A and B are shown apart, each in its own frame.
Chain A
Amino acid sequence: MAEQENAIICQDLTFHYHNRPIFSQFNLKIPFHKMNLIKGKNGIGKTTLLKLMASILLPPKGSVHYRGIVNPKINWLPSCGNALFPHLTGIENFTLFQHLTPHQCLTIDEIKTLLVNYPVMIETLNKSLPVQVNQCSDGMKQLIKIAIALSHNAHFYFWDEPFQNLSQELALELSLLMNTFFQEKTLVLTDHRHSGNNDYDEINLETLL
């Protein structure tokens, strides 16, 4: 892979939790405008690697470089927790994050336009938006989280288990949407339910460690 095609370069990354080493002088290059799937068994450090690349965690040693961008806009879809304000409705959460985010975000109407060819997603989203998050099912919460993530136009996307809690129909539509949405974008994700519907560049963490 030519050096200039790399979007993200992890250089000599070292990270440990409570003296348990996760990465030691770990190196990885992520190409531009690709969907990169990080694979590996449970507990190997897939989410930790995503968080390090998204600068949510900071490595005590080593570094993450974003090629050509000094302060990149990062889009993060967390897998743990709801990542939503529990007493607000879906649409209130959507708007709240728009107001909190310092960059321009897509409106809910623009998101709905984006989803126009995905009827199950639109229908479920329309059902979820007026409901208070603490009364939503896990699948509804996941779809609200995805809508909020899609609204944030960023340089790099890091999505941790985007298909979790989604029904088969929703997961299929999301994978089709991702194929279109991420054509000109750089995405790194983890996915235990990888169905083969997406054209991922696979990164097997077990072979790299």
Chain B
Amino acid sequence: MISQLIIYLIKENWRGSFSSWMTLLLELFSSSLGLIIYWYASKAFGPSIQEHLDFYQTDFFSFMVVGEIFLGIPIQVLTGLITSYKTIFREHIHEIFISRAISWNRYFISQIIADIWRPFLRMGFIVLVSMGLGLSFSLLSFLYALFLTSLALISFYGFALLALSLINISGRGQTLIFQTNALLGALSGAFFPVEILPSKLAVLMTTIIPHGILLTNVRKILAQTTAIPFPQQEFVHLALLGLAYAGSGYFLFQSSLIFLRKKGRLIL
């Protein structure tokens, strides 16, 4: 039963992440610190880039908070999956996975569902605090943006599988992946509009990089500058990209695992 599996993985993640309630409070505290930085950064630099933000009908503070909220969910999924994969290797659980022909896909998807509460908890907290600081959007737009984010999770899952393949082949790469992820987040418009980037790079970020496609379209939805009725071009774009990333990611992941088993390098 996959529901039972998810419950046990939630327990594993919760106990691993929050050994005490103090850890949870510290996480919320760190989110508050981030918001304070965004608030003062928006006061300092907002006026100089406001002309680029007019397209999204927002101010600089709301712009950064939206980036934090909607990119935070898939990035947490990606990093959570990499961390749990490393634990599986460190504890030699993967040997049992291989011998019993346990489905990696089933485990990874259960792990993603089991881990999703954490970015949602953070998002809820940030939204509540930010609304007090001037963030505003309609509930319907917010729900559509969340739906788009869920759809983007397929691409990020594929992205995570590509990252795990790199770890399998190189034996390392976790830090590189986290840094690449942070760079892609920044270049995808988490902290500044993609229009500031050279035009070719901006096009690349908003057509094949899931971070960029997600953020650009979430911003449009929240600003209500895009038609909301389903199905939308953006949804189809993300769904197709998701299939491409997840398909190629899973193929590469399985190939890299075979490579590891042939090399005898089952320790990461």
Inter-chain contact B266/A102, CB cutoff 8 Å: no
A85: interface (CB < 8 Å): yes
Chain B at the A interface: SS class? helix
Q: How far is the CA of A17 from the CA of B263 in the complex (A)?
A: 7
Closest CB in chain B relative to A201 CB, distance in Å: 22
Q: How far is the CA of A87 from the CA of B19 in the complex (A)?
A: 10
Q: Which of A119-154 contact B (CB under 8 A)?
A: 132, 148, 152
Closest CB in chain A relative to B124 CB, distance in Å: 24
Closest CB in chain A relative to B13 CB, distance in Å: 8
Closest CB in chain B relative to A207 CB, distance in Å: 23
User: Among the listed B8, B90, B101, B264, which residue makes an inter-chain contact with A99, where contact means beta carbons less than 8 Å apart?
Assistant: B8
Number of A-B residue pairs, CB cutoff 8 Å, is 95
Within 8 Å CB of A85, what residues of B?
A: 8, 12, 87, 91, 93
Inter-chain contact B264/A80, CB cutoff 8 Å: no
Q: How far is the CA of A78 from the CA of B90 in the complex (A)?
A: 13
Inter-chain contact B8/A86, CB cutoff 8 Å: no
A209: interface (CB < 8 Å): no
Q: How far is the CA of A85 from the CA of B91 in the complex (A)?
A: 8
Inter-chain contact A48/B264, CB cutoff 8 Å: yes
Inter-chain contact A83/B12, CB cutoff 8 Å: no
- Return the CB mask of B102-118 against A: 1 if under 8 Å, else 0: 11001100000000000
Residue ID in chain B nearest A85 by CB atoms: B12
Residue ID in chain A nearest B101 by CB atoms: A102
Inter-chain contact A58/B92, CB cutoff 8 Å: no
Inter-chain contact B5/A56, CB cutoff 8 Å: no
Contact of A57 with B12 at beta-carbon distance under 8 Å, contacts A75-B99, A83-B93, A95-B4 already known = no
Residue ID in chain A nearest B93 by CB atoms: A83
Q: How far is the CA of A59 from the CA of B103 in the complex (A)?
A: 22
Within 8 Å CB of A48, what residues of B?
A: 264
Inter-chain contact B261/A58, CB cutoff 8 Å: yes
Inter-chain contact A100/B107, CB cutoff 8 Å: yes
Question: What number of B residues sit within 8 Å (CB to CB) of A?
Answer: 31
Q: How far is the CA of A99 from the CA of B8 in the complex (A)?
A: 10
Within 8 Å CB of A51, what residues of B?
A: 95
Contact of A88 with B11 at beta-carbon distance under 8 Å, contacts A58-B261, A82-B92, A83-B91 already known = yes
B258: interface (CB < 8 Å): yes
Inter-chain contact B96/A78, CB cutoff 8 Å: yes
Inter-chain contact B99/A83, CB cutoff 8 Å: no
A196: interface (CB < 8 Å): no
Within 8 Å CB of A15, what residues of B?
A: 264
B16: interface (CB < 8 Å): yes
A170: interface (CB < 8 Å): no
Inter-chain contact B5/A96, CB cutoff 8 Å: yes
Residue ID in chain B nearest A76 by CB atoms: B99
Q: 9 shortest A-B CB distances, which residue pairs? A: A81-B92, A76-B99, A87-B15, A99-B5, A96-B8, A58-B261, A74-B99, A87-B16, A81-B91
